[in-house]
Every structure is written in C-alpha cells, then in structure tokens.
Structure 1
Amino acid sequence: MNRKVWIISGPAGVGKSTTARWLAQSMEKSAYVSGDDISHMAVSGRERPWESERANDLVWKNIVALTDNFLEAGYDVVVDWVAFWQDVKRYTVHWIEQGVEVRYVILWAEQDVHIQRDQYRPSDAQMGERVIILRNEFLSSGAPDRYYLDNTVGELSETIQQLQESEQFVLTDLQQSGAST
C-alpha cells in the first residue's frame, strides 16, 4: 500500500492546525507534523521563517526528515505548515519519485473570516496584520487554483472528506514542473 503525505497550508487563521489534526486522527496509522512546533524548537538565536530563508529551509529540512522517518515506519503523514508553492515543489519531488502520494491544499476563507478566526486565538498566538500579508503572499505565489479549498462555510467533516477523496489536490510530476492545471 502506498503511503500518503498531506500538506495542509494556508494563511494564519484559516484552520490549518485544526484541519490537519482531524485529518490525521481520521486515518488508521498516521503522524501529524507541525511546522510551527519545529520552528519553535530553536530557542536561542531563533529566526522567524518568514523573515529568514535559512530559518524556512531549516524548518523544511526537519519536516522532510520527520516525514521520511514516519513514511519508512509505515505511517501516512499530515504536515501542517505555511507551505508556499515554490517550497512544495522543491521539497516533495523525492516523495513523488518514490511513489508516495502527495496532496497539497491551501485552505482559504473570506478575508474577514481569516481575521475573525485569528482574533479567536489566544493573544500570544494571534498574527494580526500577518494574516493579510500571508493572504497576499499566497495569491502571488503562483500556486495553481486547483490547490485552493475554500472553508469559509461548511463543516470540518466535509473538508476532511474532500481532502481524502478529491484528486484535485494530488501532486504529480506534471505539477512539479510548475505547469498549472
């Protein structure tokens, strides 16, 4: 049976972590890999991944290493991270070449919903204006429209079902070359 990797992405406040955790819990044998948790492992001298290419690369290298280990142990993996199209293309190629099914989704909601969801977070976890900045970065990232999933309304269970069943989120060699579909 082929292993699967889901990369659940999107701006702050869109529901990445909630969706990713629920998706992982819905599977028989799965691991949840949080890019935020990895990012915060560096204590002294930590750089923010959105301000430092080196810090972003370090997070990605650790996501890949953990994911590889879980795949080798027979787990499907759900990655929760603000994963932009260029990084996804760069860091998923080897999984696709190994026959791992990789699914990439950019969760999306109306702007006011993003902002409202961010405000419901604990104050130390709120991203504020970064929500709008991330929205704009995603819109200009070059990711094909097929990878966006609007979760403004609807039940989480419906989102999980769509992630599991829809082929629109599957990365293939064609998409890796940057071709839009």
Structure 2
Amino acid sequence: MHRYTLRSSVQVPLPKPDTLSLDLDAALARRTSIPKPVAKQTEHLRHIWVVTGPAGCGKSSVAAFLAQALELPYIEGDDYHPPENVKKMSDGVPLTDEDRWGWLDTLRHKASEELESGAMGCVVTCSALKRRYRDFIRQVGQAEVGIVVRFVYLRADVELLIQRVKARKNHFMKDDMVRSQFIALEEPDSSEPDVISVDVSGSLAEVQQDALREVEARMFE
C-alpha cells in the first residue's frame, strides 16, 4: 500500500472589512490559485523474485524471460551447485538438507550482492522444494527494509515433468530424480502469501506470460 504525505494546508488571510469592496475578483483569484496538496510517491521496493519448482517445470526458461522483461539481473541457481552436489544428482542420488544449505546460502548472497551493486531487484532460480528452504531465503528480506522476497512457484503434474526431463540433453538431472523431488516437495499454501502459483501445463509462451502478468500485479504491493 502506498503512503502519501500531504503538504500542510495554506492559510489565506481574509480581506479586512474596509477592503471587502476592493477587487473581489482578485481575492477570488488568490483563493483559487492555492496549490493543491501533492502526493509524495514512495520509492520502488527492491524485489528478489525466486522462481521455484521441481526439475522440468521450466524454471530457467521462465526466470530468464522475467529477468529480460523486467530488466533485472538473472541468477541461475544450478550454476552455483558445488561439484559434489552435481555428482550426486548425476548419479541419481537425491540431495539431503545438508547438501542444500550451503547452496541456498550462496544464492542468498548472490542476490544480496546484486542489490548492493545498485540493481532494483533480481530473478533467481531455485527449486526451494521445502518450506524451510523458502524461509531460509526469506531472511534476506527480513534483514533490510525495502527488500521484498517473493516466489513464483511453477506447478505441474509429475508425469509431465518426467517427460520434459527425459527430453533434455546434457543435463545432470535425470528423470528418476523428478519423482524424488516430488516426494520431498512441500507445496506452498495460503500460509505463504508471498508465493505466486503458476500452472505450467500450457505452452512455454503461455506460462511465461502468465508468470509476468502475476509478477507485474505485485510489483508495488
């Protein structure tokens, strides 16, 4: 909600009794020329938009589109997995909480660095499958006034995502990892009002436009 500050009202002195007959038109002109109160615009909030969801939901494609449309820096979460995490996932071994904490912390710091460098926001991809992972990322917004963390959750059916992952070439994530991610997934609900849910069953272009429309609707909330 925008807050507005009004200038203090201007008091116009009334004409003295012995001058009431003098140039009433001029007196009225003075009254009507009083400047109207001006609403002070609030500064834009700096948003960290975290595009989340299991493997195959289209995080990278949607996040890159949002970053370009909003003219914001883009952070690809997969690029910051340590080698040991990549090896485990390539071998079909699900990551544990301990495997993820360091990665999540790296993403938090990268997002903070973008804002500290002067960016008005950034877009980050991160599966953020569990509530505690999302809460961990939310701490960025709790640490400084004016920073808002919001999540774009790409919602899809497990079979659809398996099909998409199977079609990938040269990616460390295997299709059998999708099922393990769905087992670990804690879908956001109404207790997380900072999460935007976007269905990804449509075409990529439709999903991208839906996500952008939802994001733009919340830019100044």
Length-normalised TM-score, structure 2: 0.64
The match for 1:152 is 201
From 78, 100, 105, the counterpart of 1:61: 105
The equivalences for 1:68-87 within 5 A come to: 68-75=112-119, 76-83=121-128, 84-87=130-133
Cα deviation for residue 103 of structure 1 reads: 1.1
1:23 Cα offset (Å): 0.7
Check 1:121–1:26 CA distance in 2 against 1; reply closer, same or farther (3 A cut). same
Higher relative contact order (CA 8 A, sep 6+): 1
Number of corresponding residues: 161
Pairing 1:129–2:173 present: no
Letter in structure 2 aligned against 1:111: V
> Cα offset for 1:52?
3.6
Query: For 1:108 and 1:96, how far apart are their aligned partners in 2?
Result: 26
Structure 2 portions without partners, runs of 5+:
1-43
* Deviations 1:38-91 (CA, angstroms, capped at 9, x unpaired): 00xx34xx2448434333111111111111110111221111011132111123
4+ residue segments displaced more than 6 Å: none
Q: 1:10 to 1:142 in 2, by over 3 A?
A: closer
Q: State the Cα deviation string for residues 100-154 of structure 1 (Å, max 9, x = none).
A: 121112211223221111122105444212112212322xx26215633211115
CA distance in 2: counterparts of 1:104 and 1:97, whole angstroms: 17
Change (3 A) 1:137 1:162: farther
Q: CA RMSD in A?
A: 2.3
Question: What is residue 32 of structure 2 aligned with on the other side?
Answer: none
Q: Secondary structure at the match of 2:154?
A: strand
Unaligned runs of 5+ in 1: 171-181
Equivalent-residue separation in structure 1 for 2:99 and 2:181 (angstroms): 17
Match of 2:67 in 1: 24
Q: Kindly provide the amino acid, as one letter, of the partner of residue 79 in structure 1.
A: V
Contact 1:22 1:160 in 2 (8 A): no
Q: Output the CA distance in 1 between the equivalents of 2:138 and 2:73.
A: 17
| Aligned partners of 2:50 and 2:125 also within 8 Å | yes
Of all paired residues, the percent bearing the same amino acid is: 24
The yes-or-no answer on 1:33 pairing with 2:75 is: yes
TM-score, length-normalised on structure 1? 0.77
